[in-house]
Copies of this chain bind each other. A is one copy, B any other.
Amino acid sequence: MNPKNEYRYSYLTWEEMNDAIAMQKVVLLPTGSTEQHGPHLPLETDAFLVEAVCMEAGRQASDSILVLPTISYGLNMHHIDFPGTIHIEPETFIAFCLNITKSVAYHGFKKILLVNGHGSNGPLVDLVARKTVLATESLCAAVSYFSLAMEAFKQVQDTKVIAHSDEFETSLYLYLAPERVRKEKALPGSDVVGKNLSSDSTSNYPVRFNDFWGRWTKTGVHGDPTTATPEKGKVIFHAAVKGLIEVVDEWRKWPISERSDQHEGPVQSKIRW
């Protein structure tokens, strides 16, 4: 084992970590969820998928990536009517992730990237990235892995709504771990749909609205997993991994400029917010 090629953050010793800092690897924090995914997918779906993408990206680009241990829990109260779902309050999730990014920044890593696998964590990782930028000398950004594969997926996509336990996620799971997919249980779901919003408004709706899922589904599926195949999953996986490595490369080269202050007088920079 050559520690310089190790991409799993927590496999390193503190001595080897000094090398990783010197190499200015980009530190990835995968954020997932433990949450109902319909009758055919396990609760771990979001955490498993995002971790798989990050790990493969790390394996392929081990000189520029370090992958932190996955956050397996996220914002999920709206799924609570489905057994097993674990909910983390948004403020707690943000604070937990921010402690991690601050620690990473403290040690001298300048580029951090949250890689998200759970839709409802979206506003949270956005805020973690913002807060890290404001609180440290490092830069932090956030990306949902599925957004990096959506373009490629469109080439093979058969059903329209991509939301949760759908053609997209089921295909990816079938490619990565078919033995854990209860394929025979897969059924199309459907939420209440309007013109400007739906009961679990996906990002193409202008209005943000997420109702309790117990109000509109008894299966917990949003989208249609019945057309999922491992082949589609393969397309998704490789597009996501390739996209993530591309983002990492761009991120590594990103400048960290000096702030230019537009005040003519002095500012009170010691204020604690």
Contact = CB atoms under 8 A, between A and B. Distances in A.
B95 A83 contact: no
Contact of A100 (B47, B73, B257): B73
Nearest to A217: B260
Contacts of A43: 9-14, 17
A69 B68 contact: no
B34 A13 contact: no
Contacts of A77: 134, 273
Nearest to A177: B11
A84 B207 contact: no
A59 interface: no
A99 B137 CA distance: 22
B83 A73 contact: no
B83 A133 contact: no
A42 B13 contact: yes
Nearest to A82: B14
Given A134-B212, A215-B257, A73 B99 contact: yes
Contact of A22 (B120, B243, B264): B264
Interface residues of A, number: 131
Contacts of A129: 208-210
Contacts of A182: 13
Given A207-B141, A266-B108, A260 B81 contact: yes
A236 to B, nearest CB: 15
A266 to B, nearest CB: 6
Contact of A263 (B83, B120, B247): B83
Contact of A196 (B8, B68, B246, B261): B246
Contact of A84 (B14, B196, B261): B14
A85 interface: yes
B208 A17 contact: no
Q: Which 4 A-B pairs have the closest CB atoms?
A: A123-B123, A10-B44, A69-B72, A214-B259
27 contacts: A11-B180, A12-B42, A14-B38, A14-B82, A14-B84, A18-B83, A68-B86, A69-B70, A73-B100, A77-B273, A81-B261, A81-B263, A83-B108, A84-B107, A85-B107, A90-B94, A102-B271, A123-B124, A123-B126, A124-B127, A141-B201, A143-B196, A147-B206, A195-B246, A197-B247, A207-B247, A216-B257
